[in-house]
Amino acid sequence: MSRTDREFDIVVFGATGFTGRLVAEYLHLSGADGARWAIAGRSLDKLGQVRDELHLPPAVALLKADAGDAASLMTLVARTKVVITTVGPYQLHGEPLATACAEAGTDYVDLCGEPLWMARMIDKLTPLARQSGARIVFSCGFDSIPFDLGVVYLQAEAQARFGAPLPEVRGRVARLKGAASGGTLASMMETIEAIRRDGSLIKVMVNPFSLTGGFKGPKQPNDQGADFDDWADAWTGPFVMATINTKNVHRSNALRGHPWGEGFVYSEKMLTGKPGQGDKGRKKAYALARFTKLQNLALGFTPTRTLLRRFVLTQPGDGPNAAAREAGRYEVWFTGKAAGGRLLRAVVKGDRDPGYGSTCKLISEAALCLLRDVDATATPGGVWTPGSALGLALVRRLHARAGLTFEIAA
């Protein structure tokens, strides 16, 4: 079936899970930009409960498909133009659906922040997607849309103001209120399990250019320690999402032919003090660096991961309540230095907690952007990042509809 003849514009796969349910709720309350959409999962009864509890209209169809049943997935993706999937960890559950979309010419967005799986899928799916016309876009949640698009936005402003891109950008998380999602923690532990089985995979994790198709790039800053950032005038420590975000930023640059230069440098850290406070954030920066190191060591032990799975990770259907999601916030600074030493800073703000309240909006609008705003000439079939596939079109959409702001600091 050709894309123009398909029954649905968007299908949400995994709608009975906590995040998938939030995506369905957001599409319903936002009007889904007029799209025809449906929800999918393993159990029609549970899907029916979701439809009833969210008061979805009867036009939102219920579609049965199983992540482990390739035939059911092919039937599903042939009926829609775009698939949103929230079913992770993707290295356990993601390959059959992503492959089905790549083969069927169906656009695909997910919340994956798992570099090992992404590297393997880039190699496997790129030729399939180029042939079918499917646009496969990973990392459409908090990791990595605010960061990937923050750099895209800042570089566009630099080009407009100075006539040239910024050779270096520093991403700094200035505010973060809200816990990481259970899916993020589960994905981290599955990644560690994979590395324990094959130690050579650590090279993918530590190399910021491991998703750029062989491009090695210049030496990048070490984001794992504590240091004083003179551009932010504040102390910084490690940021847990930097491992995936830096890879996506460099892949965005590579996929678009290095518009920011082959020597582009990007780092990403957490601010531990306020600008102008001197050494006030120093102790916190070193404490954060030590905690991060100890956390990584602890996760390397099987008993630790077993305890986390049993007592810490959220179960399907669990997550923060609406009040907690609405109380969450985040703010990220992106700063670069132009020729002559002038600093240019973009500030990206989100109005919900990053792991759930904002993420459900980010992935929904990414799907709608593929559907409405980005044609196949600008973004043909292939495996993309949010920044390279959707770029400023998604910046405008998020600014208008999803509670995010992208602004240049005065």
Give the up-direction half-sphere exposure of residue 122: CA atoms within 13 A in the CB hemisphere: 19
From the list 153, 171, 159, the residue with the least C-alpha distance to 208 is 171
For 358-369, write each residue's pLDDT tens digit.
999 999 999 999
Give the up-direction half-sphere exposure of residue 79: CA atoms within 13 A in the CB hemisphere: 20
Higher pLDDT, 178 or 146: 146
Mean pLDDT of 219-237: 96
pTM confidence score: 0.95
Q: Which of 72-76, 155-159, 294-298, 309-313 has the lowest mean pLDDT?
A: 309-313
Indicate the pairing of strand 168-177 with strand 329-337: antiparallel
**Band (317; pLDDT cuts 50, 70, 90):** low
Which helix or strand (DSSP H or E) is residue 297 part of?
A: helix 282-299
pLDDT of residue 362: 99
Mean pLDDT of 209-238: 95
Position 311 pLDDT exceeds 70: no
* d(C-alpha 30, C-alpha 22), whole Å: 12
* d(C-alpha 139, C-alpha 125), whole Å: 16
pLDDT of residue 294: 85
pLDDT of residue 390: 99
Every domain of the chain with CATH number 3.40.50.720 lies at: 3-142+357-393
Q: Which of 2-16, 151-165, 290-304, 343-357 has the lowest mean pLDDT?
A: 290-304
- Written out in words, the top-level CATH class of the domain with range 3-142+357-393 is alpha beta
Place of tokens 């133009």: 81
Mean pLDDT of 243-248: 97
**Band (135; pLDDT cuts 50, 70, 90):** very high
pLDDT of residue 2: 67
pLDDT of residue 296: 76
Backbone dihedral angles phi then psi of residue 351, each to the nearest 5 degrees = -100, 15
The answer to whether the beta carbons of residues 404 and 351 sit under 8 Å apart is: yes
Which helix or strand (DSSP H or E) is residue 55 part of?
A: none
* d(C-alpha 66, C-alpha 81), whole Å: 19
Q: Which of 58-67, 306-315, 379-388 has the lowest mean pLDDT?
A: 306-315
* d(C-alpha 352, C-alpha 324), whole Å: 9
Residues 6+ apart with CB under 8 A from 305: 189, 192, 193, 299
For 21-60, write each residue's pLDDT tens digit.
999 999 999 999 999 999 999 999 999 999 999 999 999 9
Position 315 pLDDT exceeds 70: no
Mean pLDDT of 114-118: 97
* d(C-alpha 91, C-alpha 187), whole Å: 8
Mean pLDDT of 257-280: 93
pLDDT of residue 312: 59
**Band (295; pLDDT cuts 50, 70, 90):** confident
pLDDT of residue 410: 65
The answer to whether the beta carbons of residues 118 and 138 sit under 8 Å apart is: yes
pLDDT of residue 386: 99
* d(C-alpha 210, C-alpha 245), whole Å: 12
* d(C-alpha 139, C-alpha 353), whole Å: 17
* d(C-alpha 196, C-alpha 216), whole Å: 25
Which helix or strand (DSSP H or E) is residue 31 part of?
A: none
Residue 234 CB coordination number (10 Å): 23
- Cα–Cα separations (whole angstroms), residue 16 to 63, 116, 272, 307, 356: 12, 27, 38, 25, 15
CA 380 to chain centre: 20
- Percentage of residues of the chain with pLDDT beyond 90: 83
**Band (397; pLDDT cuts 50, 70, 90):** very high
pLDDT of residue 186: 77
pLDDT of residue 392: 99
pLDDT of residue 20: 97
Indicate the pairing of strand 8-13 with strand 37-41: parallel
Place of tokens 């990007």: 266
